[in-house]
Structure 1
Amino acid sequence: MKSILIAMDESKSAKSALSIGVALARICGAKVKGLYVEDIMRLLEWQPAELISAGMGFSSAIPETKPTVEQVEVEKGFIAEANRLEKNFKETCKKFAVNHTFLTKRGRVHEIIKEITKTVDMTVIGRRGKTYPETSKEPGPVTDNLLRQTTRPVLVVPEDAKVNNKILIAYDGSQNAQRALSIGAAFAKLLNFDVRVVSVANDIDSAQKPLDEANEFLTPYELNATYVVDFGAAMPWKAIIDQIKIFDPGLVVIGAFGENRLVELIFGSTTKQVIMEATCPVLLCR
């Protein structure tokens, strides 16, 4: 791993993401890109009345608009926030002696982040941004959209994330899970972490087959690995969360989202539920 993107704002989870992302970059010898996106939607909330009138057809002329007072204040806020974030980012990177660069872009936040992910090996992002209610356990919309759209691994970091030397990998044999197993093994080897692989299915035979695959795959890595079969659970995510509580990992690695959105709507998303419940970073792979 040679490059890591850290998406930044002033939320608690983004601050945790910065610390963990930079520490990981030092271990990997990777360069870090810090990214702050000026959310254009905050400016569009304050469209001049004349422009809105023209857009609705009440006026045929397109006015020569000037920024509203609110838009000027938003612009000032962008500059101040970017300066604070850049200062904190550079101080953190220098502390860990990590090669780094800081970027400020303007646009729709999830679209800008998605484009920058194409230039790095992995993205680190907080579970939810500062504009999303802290009382909610769900990942924010920017994080959710990024997980669905990027093909790069994404490390989702909760507020006050705890880390230790244990990795939990959920494996079901799917393509996304195969990528998760491969990346999880590489991290475990690099960091010298203990590994637990959990396989969840409706019956023991269906759960055991993926576990045997995982065992064969991980054997050459010579890791301290254990394997757990969990079957009969009504919802796979419940079994994974149970293993998180039992094993108490410092990192969870899973495949990001299944292909069936209808099933996800009816039964709930394993990806989202694990992100909501985990108190450690969750690495998601597609």
Structure 2
Amino acid sequence: MAKKSRDCCPSTTCAVHCESKPKLIAVGKRLIHAIVPNEVQTGLDKGERQHQPLARRYPDKFFNYVLVPVGDDNQIWTGLEQAIVIAQRENSQLRGMHIVPNEAVLASPNAQAVQAEFDRRCQNAGVNGRLILKTGSIAQTIIDRARWNDLIVMNLAHPPGETIVDRLGSGFRLVIKHSNQPILAVPGTVSPLDKMLLAYDGSNNSKKALSITAYLVKQWQAQLVVVTAHEKEAPDPVIIDYARRYLELHEIEAEFKIGSGKAADVILETAVSHHCNLIIMGGYGAQPVVEVVLGSPVNAILRRTPVPVLICP
């Protein structure tokens, strides 16, 4: 007796299933083509995608939509002026946001003045910008809106403090901790962002920072210094070699530095000695309890930095 093929479906139900199967496959292919990037469809693995030239890997600009919380004093406007520098390079849309405590303030002369000032600065710079007025907690409102943007640019008027109580009450820390988008912390002055320092320690967060740094250096034609800090033992050569090879694959030249001491001290001292005007680093690496109790290099740098800091969570 001949053995039946596994593909044979003698029942009516199976016959219908077999007839409809090619149709389902065709529909599935169309869906995949519509929603999955071409590089994934062609089967490129992660390593192959990393080895592609940046022009092919990033067909669009990195920061298309930039969220900029603004206030009503000259110091807070520094964040917008720094965002304008980015928008002019990336052709970004600036999404300004002025947050007030309650709806009664929305129609106040002060709020309207902020609206007018935002429009004036964007228009004078020739960038596309729009400001909205929102009510609520400043930190939570920024976190809620961050998911719809590619970058958050914030004035560094109130960095996380040195004590546990100060850190727990820091709105800036909450935004860093809960936002999935890069955050550019801007101190008192606007930077040209043309000489960058990458703080690299081999962690997952610093590898994200490495990827963004590669794009910025290549697209913005900036200079780059890569610094690795250690307090006791020298860093594993494999860690530095990974960053070196990654940049070489993207045809990026960089100066590598290894410094002994606390990470924040080494990073800031290197930034000053090499005249860097942007520090790029990963976000909080420790568990939240450890970070709150013992502090973090991120917090220490934010308290002391003279230049903008791009934090990549």
TM-score, normalisation: structure 2 = 0.72
Compared CA separation, residues 267 and 241, structure 1 to 2 (3 A): farther
Q: Which residue of 2 aligns with 1:240?
A: 267
Describe the superposition over 1:46-93 as per-residue Cα deviations: whole angstroms up to 9, x where unpaired. xxxxxxxxxxxxxxxxxxxxxxxxxxxxx4587233212211211121
Compared CA separation, residues 266 and 239, structure 1 to 2 (3 A): farther
Alignment of 1:1-286 (within 5 A): 1-40=63-102, 75-76=104-105, 79-128=108-157, 141-201=170-230, 202-206=232-236, 208-231=237-260, 233=261, 235-265=262-292, 267-286=294-313
Describe the superposition over 1:144-187 as per-residue Cα deviations: whole angstroms up to 9, x where unpaired. 21111101000000112444520000011111111111111111
Describe the superposition over 1:230-267 as per-residue Cα deviations: whole angstroms up to 9, x where unpaired. 24x2x222211221221221110001112224443454
- The CA distance in 2 between the partners of 1:12 and 1:128, in whole Å, is 11
Give the number of the structure whose alpha-carbon radius of gyration is greater. Answer: 2
Partner SS, residue 204 of structure 1? coil
Segments of 5+ residues of structure 2 without an aligned counterpart are 1-62, 162-166
Q: Which amino acid aligns with 1:90?
A: D
Q: Which amino acid aligns with 1:111?
A: Q
Q: Is the 8 A contact 1:5 1:117 kept in 2?
A: yes
Compared CA separation, residues 81 and 143, structure 1 to 2 (3 A): farther
Q: Which amino acid aligns with 2:233?
A: D
RMSD of Structure 2 on Structure 1 (CA): 2.5
Compared CA separation, residues 121 and 188, structure 1 to 2 (3 A): same
Report which stretch shifted further, 90-99 or 17-26: 90-99
- The CA distance in 2 between the partners of 1:116 and 1:36, in whole Å, is 12
Q: Which amino acid aligns with 1:197?
A: V
What is the aligned length?
244
Q: Is the 8 A contact 1:128 1:142 kept in 2?
A: no
- The CA distance in 2 between the partners of 1:266 and 1:150, in whole Å, is 21
Describe the superposition over 1:189-212 as per-residue Cα deviations: whole angstroms up to 9, x where unpaired. 121110001112332242x33221
Compared CA separation, residues 260 and 12, structure 1 to 2 (3 A): farther
- The CA distance in 1 between the partners of 2:73 and 2:244, in whole Å, is 39
Q: Which amino acid aligns with 1:169?
A: L
Q: Is the 8 A contact 2:106 2:133 kept in 1?
A: no
Name the structure, 1 or 2, with higher relative contact order (CA <8 Å, separation 6+).
1
Q: Which amino acid aligns with 1:37?
A: I
Q: Which amino acid aligns with 1:147?
A: I
Amino-acid identity (%) = 21
Q: Which amino acid aligns with 2:72?
A: E
Give how far 1:4 is off. Answer: 0.4
- The CA distance in 2 between the partners of 1:95 and 1:127, in whole Å, is 24
Compared CA separation, residues 225 and 237, structure 1 to 2 (3 A): same
Q: Is the 8 A contact 2:100 2:106 kept in 1?
A: no
- The CA distance in 1 between the partners of 2:172 and 2:72, in whole Å, is 15
Segments of 5+ residues of structure 1 without an aligned counterpart are 44-74, 133-137
